[in-house]
Structure 1
Amino acid sequence: MQSIPIKNVGTNRLVDKFQREYYYLRLSVTDVCNFKCTYCLPSGYQPPVQKESFLSLDEIRRIVGAFAAMGTEKVRLTGGEPTLRKDFLAIVETISALEGIKKVALTTNGYRMEKDVERWKKAGVSSINVSVDSLDPRQFYSITGENKFHQVMKGIERAFEVGYEKIKVNSVLMKNLNDQEFDRFKNWVKDKPIQMRFIELMQTGEMDQFFNRYHLSGQILAEKLLKEGWILRQKDRTDGPAKVFSHPDYLGEIGLIMPYEKNFCASCNRLRVSAKGKLHLCLFGEEGVDLRDLLVSDEQQVILQSRLYAALQGKREHHLLAQGNRGIRTNLASIGG
């Protein structure tokens, strides 16, 4: 598809008052998810009483076009489960055709990967993150509420077959649930080009007791890796928050996402837009800035870019997770994690 230019109307690039520049947009395209993960939606997706439509294809084109005109190079499609959208391929094609967008990434639970990953690649998905919280099928079922382990694993293999050179696999680290599988995960990636990423459990409004019971610091794993000869890799500017470790004896890599670590926010380069059109400056915290009234027509680009820049100037230097302030977020499915 031919690249579609959206003119930069003169508004500044996305730089906050702490001189952090934002190249990376995490765009949720739906709140709906078909898994029931214990750390996110243990009761499954519950439709809101007051229904509000998710962003349309045109609204998505306009919001991503505004970000791209202000310097954003990478867009990650999140949810819920983004591939539940019937127009998912059209969304990918539209975003990947926008001038300035160099990468369109996808975060998925992987349930459709085996069947659809070739079409995702042809549409323009340049990289995939897939969730695998356990390599034990029974534990996988216990955590996700879905008996889909073998289906997801076949999807990962299929992704390599259709030409993906590396797959990122996400696992939420939980004490006494899957932390004991750390060595098993390492062995799994020894001969596979997989970046195995362990994400510290984060506290949300609905999950206080779960957090207190299962939270484990990723620093424990970092120290273990360093003792075993793993080396911390330098980040690229559009990389996410993971600290990535490599080892000369391993084809795969290990990534750690540790939001409670000191200075975690110092290298922040990403902003979030929800499936209902709100800009969120941080995964945790504020209500969000509504953008939807400025997504009605292409002629609103001047005001839209101005609102994005103005909102960014209110971004805090740090989140307040370590102080026990997890903001208003009830679960991570509502904003794409």
Structure 2
Amino acid sequence: MKIYDNYNRPVTSLRISITTKCNLNCFYCHKDGIVPSSQEMTADEIEKACKVASRLGITKIRLSGGEPLLRDDIITIIEKISTIGFKDISLTTNGTLLEEYSSRLKEAGLNRVNVSLDTLDSNTYKFITGKNHLEKVKAGIKAAVKAGLYPIKVNMVMMKNINSHEIWDMFKFCHQQGAILQLIELLTTEQCPGNGFEKYHYNLAEIEKKLSKIADKVKTRKFMQDRRKYYINGGEIEIVRPMDNTRFCENCTRMRITPDGKLKPCLLRNDNLIDMKKALQEDNLEKLRRLFIKAIKNRYPYYQKNKKGNP
């Protein structure tokens, strides 16, 4: 059973932010406010939400944060989710704790990881994150490969005058590790507003033109927001361009849950969240199902809305 929104888009993927806590301080991060640990969903509540999601046709789960590996019960969370029968369970991490956790994550039922790494230069890494953890992250990626958390994707947020000159070095590093490089467009956020966004925003369209000329093959992922994947000399580069991209919105199949148990129909909006915390605490799965359906019906293409003035 698949549930479609009012724009005939199936919802097949759920991204669950399980904490806002992070051990880095990236200046561009789209933090949605700090949620105290006492208000975070418990492992049991996350399991309940996932059970309802599965019954509504969602087949993929991604855990994120903050930094999800800061949750003391992260292994328990994955163990609970892995019994439900999802096709894919993945986790997005900054990689600083990945060397320690990789084997246990795999044993618990995690399929794969995305690792956020914007640079291979230690000075640039400290400028972006405020920390000196570059070598920890690189070791974490290698540990994830060894543990079989595959395919590994490295998320590189592109920033003009900061790391835009490192694309090919990062591609080579990823290729050596057997990882896929994802080049991600910088989003405007409260942490990177106005002037900062204009200063650092890098137009990925120019990169795509260059990649198109040298790629051995180009694949469009229709149900992944029409993302293009470029195959070059046995390696892969995927482009993620959400800003002002109507195709990104038109083909979006993902919904989100905040750490405190709110359904978030759209990545780029915080004004239409649906609170399901009470239903989770009451163990009311039918009420949860209705809230999920309500959230799905509240979805519409964000950039189409801005362009056409839809409500």
TM-score, normalization: structure 2?
A: 0.91
Counterpart of 1:280 in structure 2 is 264
Letter in 2 for 1:274: T
**How far apart in 2 are the matches of 1:179 and 1:147?**
20
Distance 1:102 1:240, change over 3 A: farther
**How far apart in 2 are the matches of 1:207 and 1:195?**
26
Deviation string 1:293-330 (CA, Å, 9 cap, x unpaired) is 111244x211211121122212112336977x9xxxxx
Higher relative contact order, chain-length normalized (CA < 8 Å, sep 6+): 1
**How far apart in 2 are the matches of 1:25 and 1:166?**
19
* TM superposition shift of 1:207: 2.1
**How far apart in 2 are the matches of 1:47 and 1:75?**
23
**How far apart in 1 are the matches of 2:111 and 2:27?**
29
Letter in 2 for 1:259: P
**How far apart in 1 are the matches of 2:111 and 2:37?**
32
Pair 1:119-2:108 in alignment: no
* TM superposition shift of 1:94: 0.5
**How far apart in 2 are the matches of 1:293 and 1:257?**
35
Deviation string 1:260-298 (CA, Å, 9 cap, x unpaired) is 234211211100000001111101123311011111244
Counterpart of 1:304 in structure 2 is 288
Letter in 1 for 2:205: Q
Counterpart of 1:22 in structure 2 is 11
Letter in 2 for 1:213: K
**How far apart in 2 are the matches of 1:321 and 1:149?**
40
Counterpart of 1:222 in structure 2 is 208
Counterpart of 1:267 in structure 2 is 251
Distance 1:241 1:270, change over 3 A: farther
SS in 1 for 2:281: coil
* TM superposition shift of 1:30: 0.4
Pair 1:34-2:34 in alignment: no
Counterpart of 2:147 in structure 1 is 162
Deviation string 1:16-73 (CA, Å, 9 cap, x unpaired) is 01111111000010011110112127xx99856x885100112111111111110011
Name structure 2 gaps, 5 residues minimum: none
State whether residues 284 and 319 of structure 1, in contact with CA within 8 Å, keep that contact through their aligned partners in structure 2. no
Letter in 1 for 2:8: Q
Equivalenced residues, count = 305
Aligned-residue RMSD, C-alpha: 2.4
Distance 1:125 1:134, change over 3 A: same
Task: Write 1 or 2 for the structure with the bigger share of helix.
Answer: 2
**How far apart in 1 are the matches of 2:196 and 2:216?**
31
Letter in 2 for 1:29: I
State whether residues 34 and 45 of structure 1, in contact with CA within 8 Å, keep that contact through their aligned partners in structure 2. no
State whether residues 32 and 45 of structure 1, in contact with CA within 8 Å, keep that contact through their aligned partners in structure 2. no
Letter in 1 for 2:247: N
**How far apart in 2 are the matches of 1:277 and 1:262?**
28
* TM superposition shift of 1:210: 1.6
Question: Which has the higher mean CA deviation after the structures are superposed, 62-71 or 224-233?
Answer: 224-233
Pair 1:185-2:170 in alignment: yes
Counterpart of 2:274 in structure 1 is 289
Counterpart of 2:73 in structure 1 is 87
Letter in 1 for 2:255: L
State whether residues 3 and 10 of structure 2, in contact with CA within 8 Å, keep that contact through their aligned partners in structure 1. yes
Pair 1:106-2:95 in alignment: no
* TM superposition shift of 1:164: 3.1
**How far apart in 1 are the matches of 2:50 and 2:176?**
37
TM-score, normalization: structure 1?
A: 0.84
Pair 1:198-2:198 in alignment: no
Letter in 2 for 1:316: Y
SS in 2 for 1:319: helix
**How far apart in 1 are the matches of 2:70 and 2:14?**
20
Pair 1:139-2:124 in alignment: yes
State whether residues 217 and 258 of structure 1, in contact with CA within 8 Å, keep that contact through their aligned partners in structure 2. no
* TM superposition shift of 1:243: 2.5
**How far apart in 2 are the matches of 1:45 and 1:311?**
18
* TM superposition shift of 1:14: 2.3
Distance 1:45 1:115, change over 3 A: farther
SS in 1 for 2:268: coil
Counterpart of 1:55 in structure 2 is 41
Counterpart of 1:232 in structure 2 is 218
Counterpart of 1:4 in structure 2 is none
